[in-house]
Structure 1
Amino acid sequence: MALVNSNEMFKKAYEGGYAVGAFNVNNMEIIQGIVAAARQENAPVILQVSAGARKYASPIYLKKLVEAAIEETGLDIVLHLDHGEDFEICKACIDDGFSSVMIDGSRFSLDENIALTKRVVDYARDRGVSVEAELGKLAGIEDAVNVSAKDATYTDPDEAVEFVERTGVDSLAIAIGTSHGAYKFSGDPSLDFARLETISSKLKGFPLVLHGSSSVPQEFIDLNNKYGGKIPGAQGVPEHMLNRASKMGVCKINIDTDLRLAMTASIRRTFTENPGEFDPRKYLSPARDAIRDMVAHKMKNVLGCSGKK
């Protein structure tokens, strides 16, 4: 089909009460696993590239891999920059053919964040590229994003309205208690659904985004531990909470850590059961299948987007 921006995808998601998964990609096998799941589930999909992935694989390789995925599967795919830190990287990705970008000015004051976001929106608009921004700060670590718990701040609903009106942004990542990385809560997991409901009500019809939404099924934690991963118990966001958020105006949920752990568990299993293996096809093929199965699970049981393509 085509490389598309996220606008029509999010409109359908909002009206349908589900979320689209935005899956971080780093190499060919991850892309293949994700799009195989999307085709299997007949689901919309966003492939997103962090600054770290962009540096690791280079933008042109990633874009060509996504173009190959579109040609092979016949899917409409959004190619999205995750956590663009400044105007220059957003501009570079837009010029490279990305169909969506995120400008993350959450580290700045409200006015500075608005000014930066509006600059990106103004550049992207005439080029048919959708723009996501962030208001509020999520705790945790993901590539270049590193925010301590004491510096995290929840999104103010009134500021969210002002931000959207002044920037013209297409979607907004909000902070309601999720955090980047695998380990999020010192006590019982909790998201501020009252805050989400208020923001969604004030921005009726506007697509919201959740970052820091890893919720790794225990089976993958157990697999990593069994084969030497030494990963403590998963303290991610419970999947039922993400499913609830998808029915409250959250149209995009970012998923990364879950994929890393599923893929790594599979590779660890191969090398533990066959230490002499040295053919990349023999350990990357099952790892690709693990990605597919994880993504299919998320689409069907968490995001609610199976059958919504």
Structure 2
Amino acid sequence: MTLISTTPMLEKARADKHGIVAFNVHSFDSIYWVLEAAAEMKSPVILQTTVGTVRSLGAKNIVEVAKSASEHFSIPTGLHLDHCTDFQVIKEAIRAGYTSVMIDASMHPFEENVARTQEVMKLAKSLGVNVEAELGKVGGVEDDIVVAEEDAQKAIPAECRQFVELTGVPTLAPAIGTAHGIYKGKPNIDFDRIADIADLVDVPLVLHGGSAVPIEEVKRCVSFGMAKVNVSTELKNAYSKAIKVHFEQEPDSLDPRAYLQKAKEAAIEMAKSKIKMVGSENKVVPSFV
């Protein structure tokens, strides 16, 4: 098993009314932890990295480690570049071997968002690389992209249909009331808006800001066609807290194998719970292997 395009994976998920979790990974260790969890659950999975992680670890290095881990665990795995505003970084990721990229031009007027997405589609489509774009503005913080709560804007269903028709983009992330990071209050998800968008758009939809959204609300989003569910903050918090607890309990235990084992266990349990949440366990089928 090597890295695969997320397009057929997500199209099948939407058709079968389950989701695929896209986990943000921030280290080489966490790539293996996520795939070990997916292997235990027999679930397809998407690894995704922010631009900051690409700058930190290197796109080629990330691809090689992700390929190796995918082959080791023999699980259908996509590798996605999340929330990228820089066309040059997108080109770097595609050349390195990423199988999916997100062009985030949601901060621009509709026409410019279309034009920038079309530019990425010209590069990616012939290579079989999935492209994700965003309409509206998801609140919160994602790397260097900060959208204040008062500036967050929900996607307009009719614009979503027009956007997909104009760009041919195979996956769409409409802003529907979620936010990046951990919520200070209760998420205010606009389910009617999701249903309206799903009625007008055939491509798989993407739920950004999936961390800490109540399980039943995520399941409802998935049932409407949100096939890709992004999880970042909860995963990194789980393994970071495990390391913190290790040093609180054993301050002189400095062996990385000890504290990273605890981080691994926390990450795997968190990842398995999210895979179960979207209903993708036992979805590895012969066509993927």
TM-score (norm 1): 0.90
What are the ranges of 5 or more consecutive residues in structure 1 without an aligned counterpart?
216-236
1:271-307 deviations in Å (ceiling 9; x for gaps): 111010111111011101111110101111x111111
Instruction: Report the 3-state secondary structure (helix = DSSP H, G, I; strand = E; otherwise coil) of the residue aligned with 2:223.
Output: coil
The residue identity in structure 2 corresponding to 1:277 is: S
Instruction: Report the 3-state secondary structure (helix = DSSP H, G, I; strand = E; otherwise coil) of the residue aligned with 1:150.
Output: helix
Which residue in the other structure is 2:270 paired with? 294
Alignment check: 8 A CA contact 2:178 2:187 kept = no
Which residue in the other structure is 1:247 paired with? 223
What are the ranges of 5 or more consecutive residues in structure 2 without an aligned counterpart?
285-289
Where do 1:147-296 residues align within 5 Å? Answer: 147-185=147-185, 188-203=186-201, 205-215=202-212, 237-296=213-272
The residue identity in structure 1 corresponding to 2:281 is: S
Which residue in the other structure is 1:59 paired with? 59
Q: Distance in 2 between matches of 1:40 and 1:50?
A: 26
Cα displacement (A) at 1:184: 4.4
Instruction: Report the 3-state secondary structure (helix = DSSP H, G, I; strand = E; otherwise coil) of the residue aligned with 1:307.
Output: coil
Alignment check: 8 A CA contact 2:136 2:175 kept = yes
Instruction: Report the 3-state secondary structure (helix = DSSP H, G, I; strand = E; otherwise coil) of the residue aligned with 2:265.
Output: helix
Which residue in the other structure is 2:93 paired with? 93
The residue identity in structure 2 corresponding to 1:80 is: H
Which residue in the other structure is 2:287 paired with? none
Q: Distance in 2 between matches of 1:117 and 1:33?
A: 32
Matched, 1:303 2:271: no
Alignment check: 8 A CA contact 1:140 1:184 kept = no
Alignment check: 8 A CA contact 1:137 1:152 kept = yes
Q: Distance in 1 between matches of 2:141 and 2:244?
A: 24
Q: Distance in 1 between matches of 2:233 and 2:26?
A: 12
The residue identity in structure 2 corresponding to 1:210 is: L
Q: Distance in 1 between matches of 2:54 and 2:120?
A: 19
Alignment check: 8 A CA contact 1:177 1:190 kept = yes
After the TM superposition, list the runs of 4 or more consecutive aligned residues in structure 1 that deviate by more than 2 angstroms: none
Which residue in the other structure is 1:111 paired with? 111
Q: Distance in 1 between matches of 2:6 and 2:22?
A: 11
Which residue in the other structure is 1:133 paired with? 133
Alignment check: 8 A CA contact 1:21 1:255 kept = yes
Which residue in the other structure is 1:233 paired with? none
1:70-114 deviations in Å (ceiling 9; x for gaps): 121112210110011122111111111111100000010000000
Instruction: Report the 3-state secondary structure (helix = DSSP H, G, I; strand = E; otherwise coil) of the residue aligned with 1:126.
Output: helix
Instruction: Report the 3-state secondary structure (helix = DSSP H, G, I; strand = E; otherwise coil) of the residue aligned with 1:62.
Output: helix
TM-score (norm 2): 0.96
RMSD: 1.0
Identity among equivalent pairs (%): 39
The residue identity in structure 2 corresponding to 1:124 is: A
Cα displacement (A) at 1:183: 2.4
Q: Distance in 1 between matches of 2:187 and 2:90?
A: 33
Task: Count residues with an aligned counterpart.
Answer: 284
